[in-house]
Amino acid sequence: MIFSITQVYWLAGLVMAAVAVFNLLDASNPKRWTTGLFWGLYAVMFLLGDKMPPEVVGAGVIVLALIVLVKGVGGGKPQVRSDAENKESALRLKNKLFVPALAIPVVTVIGSVLLKDFKIGGNFLIDPKNATLVSLALGCIIGAAMACKMTKESPVQSLRESRRLVDAMGWAMVLPQMLGMLGLVFSDAGVGKAVAHVTTTYINMDLRFVAVVVYVVGMALFTVIMGNGFAAFPVMTGGVGVPVLINVYHGDPAIMAAVGMLSGNCGTLLTPMAANFNIVPAALLELPDRNAVIKAQVPTALGILVCNVFLLYFLMNH
């Protein structure tokens, strides 16, 4: 294949490496050495992770966690355009500014829907197993190129802006990936079986409605704890979804999985563990209450969660 998921990892690694270099060279960042080390290690995992022994990668993850523990990830004063330059560019380009941003979803849809089976010389143009992610990466590249051409800026400036956003988000940017892997660790460790044992022992699963409530609410609660629905999904699906809803009540796996993930997303709205969704926006908007985003989302999350219980109960056998 011409464009594969490996190249997407390389691209992400190169961007993280640029962030590390910018921080190391920024004397205004009081934590530039530990910050550079953090993003440098993260870059190495994207660039060489598949060629490194698992023990080395695990040691790298521990180092990342230790850097966060000692509050070693900080930000400096990246070189960005002045407000006057940004205003002049906005007045000159007007609504054309939206073209590069809109190019990203357009290219993603075209690649994942129309080009995933397209071949050149017997080779797939896009990795069919990861067509959406690869297409998204191609969309980002095309969007960045269009933005550079329209604003007459160099690609280096786009990397500086990437560094600025990464510094604003901080270590929370890597949290979704780590929490996603935590779900697989829990699954391999048998947490799903433990959940199945506890729920079937202490909760009457003879009632289909009760089983549905346990699965839906459990997905939300585990997501609150882990901060990521992808981490909660293998635990609750392995513990309740498959053995009870599918094997006992013969539910539709597709409907169960869809409603289950939506329930997990309800948990995402309620937890500070989902820092990239709930804490980072509050920091970027400089809100006085760091939990303001979560508080605003509580009614929506609880309302959808109640609806999910009845959706799964009435639809999973159709």
CA dist., res. 178 & res. 290, Å (int) = 22
pLDDT of residue 81: 66
Per-domain residue ranges for the chain?
1-169, 190-315
Report the SS3 class of residue 52: coil
DSSP state of 317: T
Encoded tokens for 22: 């910018």
The helices-and-strands tally (H runs, E runs) of the chain is 15, 2
Residue identified by tokens 């609750």 is 236
Q: Report pLDDT for 115.
A: 79
**Which residues is 311 bridged to in the sheet?**
none
271, 294 contact by CB (below 8 A): yes
**Closest C-alpha to 243, from 293, 287, 181, 198:** 198
pLDDT in tens, the chain (318 residues): 577 888 899 999 999 999 999 999 888 888 889 999 999 999 999 998 888 898 898 898 899 989 988 888 887 776 666 777 777 777 877 788 888 889 999 999 988 888 777 777 777 778 788 888 888 999 999 999 998 888 888 888 888 888 888 887 777 778 777 776 776 777 677 776 777 777 777 888 888 999 999 999 999 998 888 777 877 888 888 888 988 899 989 999 999 999 999 999 999 999 887 777 787 777 767 778 888 889 999 999 999 999 999 999 999 887
- Tell me the pTM: 0.71
Report how far residue 84's alpha carbon sits from residue 305's, in angstroms, rounded to the nearest whole number. Answer: 46
Tokens describing residue 98: 């939206």
Token code pair at residue 7: 């190249």
Residue 29: both structure tokens together: 């960042």
Phi, psi of 85 (to 5 degrees): -65, -40
Rounded alpha-carbon distances, angstroms, from residue 100 to 122, 144, 291: 32, 7, 32
Q: Is 126 helix (H, G, I), strand (E, B) or coil?
A: strand
Query: Which letter, b or e, does each residue of 9-29 get, where b requires 16 or more Cβ atoms within 10 Å of its Cβ?
Result: bebbbebbbbbbbbbbebeeb
Nearest to 215 by CA among 273, 266, 277, 278: 266
